[in-house]
Structure 1
Amino acid sequence: MDNEWLARWRQGRIGFHRSEVHPALVRHWPSLGVKAGTKVLVPLCGKSLDMRWLARHDHPVLGIELAGEAIEQFLAEGVGEVSRYHHDSFAVSRQGNVELWQGDFFHFHIEAAAEIGAFYDRAALIALPEATRQRYAFHLAQLIPPGAGGLLITLRRAPGDDAGPPYGVEAAEVRELFEPNFALSHLEDGAPEPGSGFRESVWALTRRGPKV
């Protein structure tokens, strides 16, 4: 999976990248009640413009991405000086209120996530094959503190279409993956996308446990 992901970025096969901020983020993020100044984790972030939207709305952003091409493109398309450093196995780049950690999401540990208070997943879960999604949901739960919330956007493919990535993730699987550690609220289902038949689903998640 990692090699395929890196090849897509090298070859420019990034049809999953949106050239505008996701409308579901704009619609639903305010309803989560995430306080200004709360750092937002964005797993498998690519060069998503959603990170800049979050940063403009007073959220420091920590994006994790395996492909160096994605990070360099994000920085080149942005404005402002870039600072760089290393943290364990990650190469970290910071531009404005966004810091991008290049490396394996599953190697990002709680010690580095101490300041994270929310998350946003538009294309992480659906980028992973079924065998890896359980691991992803569990690892995400380890990084998000009790009481913290986030937004999850999944998609469903047409019946019989099992191709990917992006992979279709049905509502039943979302509940199976996340309900052990999160309270879930299904916010909306989108209309089928022209040409692909994909239908996105939007979920609000809150990490179970006492608020800190």
Structure 2
Amino acid sequence: MENAWLARWREGRIGFHRDAPHPALRRHWPGLAVPAGTKVLVPLCGKSLDMRWLARQGHPVLGIELAPEAVEQFLAEGGEPVSRYRQAGFEVCRQGSVELWRGDVFHFHIEQAAEIGAFYDRAALIALPPATRQRYAFHLAQLIPPGARGLLVALTRAPGEEQAGPPFHVSEAEVRELFAPNFRLTLLARGEPEAGSGFREHVWALVRRGPLDEA
């Protein structure tokens, strides 16, 4: 699966990329009341313009992305100076208040996540096959401190196409099963099926549970 995503970026097959910030982010992020200045983790970020939108709301952003093409395109389109360095096995590029860590999200650990206080997932969960999603949900929980909030956008596929992907079909029931042990979940919205694709998004607010929370 990792090689498949890298091939998509090399070949320019990135129909999943949006040329504007995601409507669900603009609509629902303010309701999370994440304080300005809170660093936001964006796993499997691609070259998403959602990161620039979050930065404009006053958030430092830390994106994690495996494909070098995605990182370089994001930086080139930003048109601002870039600083580069290596840390903990990642190549890190900083442009304004956005820093991109190029590498495997599963190699990003709590030592690097010390300043993170929120997260946004529009492309990570749905990019992962079923066998990897449980690992991802647990890993994300280890990176997010108690009380931290996040926004998750998942999608379902039309009946009969549930096994296709990526992006993969992730039902509302699976989201609850994956994240409820470590997060409080609120379903914020169900989108209408997208014409021509059959995709239907569902949007969630998540709050990391603390040690005294009951599942």
Match of 1:189 in 2: 190
**Aligned residue in 1 for 2:91:** 91
CA distances 1:151-176 after superposition (whole Å, capped 9, x unpaired): 00000000110210000100000000
Distance across 2 between alignment mates of 1:66 and 1:9: 10
Aligned to 2:44: 44
Distance (whole Å) between structure 1 residues aligned to residue 51 and residue 18 of structure 2: 12
- The within-5 A match list for 1:50-199 is 50-161=50-161, 162-199=163-200
Paired with 1:210 and 1:36, the residues of 2 have a C-alpha distance of 26
**Given the alignment of the two structures, is residue 21 of structure 1 paired with residue 10 of structure 2, yes or no?**
no
Q: Structure 1: how far apart are the matches of 2:92 and 2:2?
A: 19
Q: Report the TM-score, using the length of structure 2 for normalisation.
A: 0.97
2:130 and 2:15 mapped to 1: Cα distance?
Answer: 21
Please give the secondary structure, in 1, of the residue aligned with 2:4.
helix
Indicate if the aligned counterparts of 1:155 and 1:200 stay in contact, CA closer than 8 A.
Answer: yes
Kindly indicate whether the alpha-carbon contact (under 8 Å) linking 1:147 and 1:210 is maintained by their aligned counterparts in 2: no
**Aligned residue-pair number:** 211
Q: Partners in 2 of 1:21 and 1:36 — Cα distance? A: 18
RMSD of the TM alignment (CA)? 0.9
Deviating beyond 6 angstroms after TM superposition, the runs of 4 or more aligned structure 1 residues are none
Which residue is 1:203 aligned to? 204
Q: Check the 8 A contact 1:118/1:148 in 2, yes or no.
A: yes
Q: Deviations over 1:6-50 (max 9, x none)?
A: 000000011110111101000000100100000000000000000
CA displacement at 1:210 relative to structure 2? 5.6
Q: Which runs of 5+ in 2 are unaligned?
A: none
Q: Provide the rounded CA distance (Å) in 2 between the counterparts of 1:132 and 1:197.
A: 24
1:79 deviates by 2.7
Mapped to 1, the partners of 2:101 and 2:150 lie a distance apart of: 19
SS at match of 2:141: helix
Task: Please say if residues 147 and 206 of structure 1, whose CA atoms lie closer than 8 Å, have aligned partners that are also in contact.
Answer: yes
Query: How far apart in 2 are the matches of 1:94 and 1:171?
Result: 35
Alpha-carbon separation, structure 2, partners of 1:131 and 1:165: 13
Partner residue of 2:35? 35
Letter of the structure 2 residue corresponding to residue 203 of structure 1: W
- Structure 1: gaps of 5 or more residues: none
Deviation at 1:111? Answer: 0.3
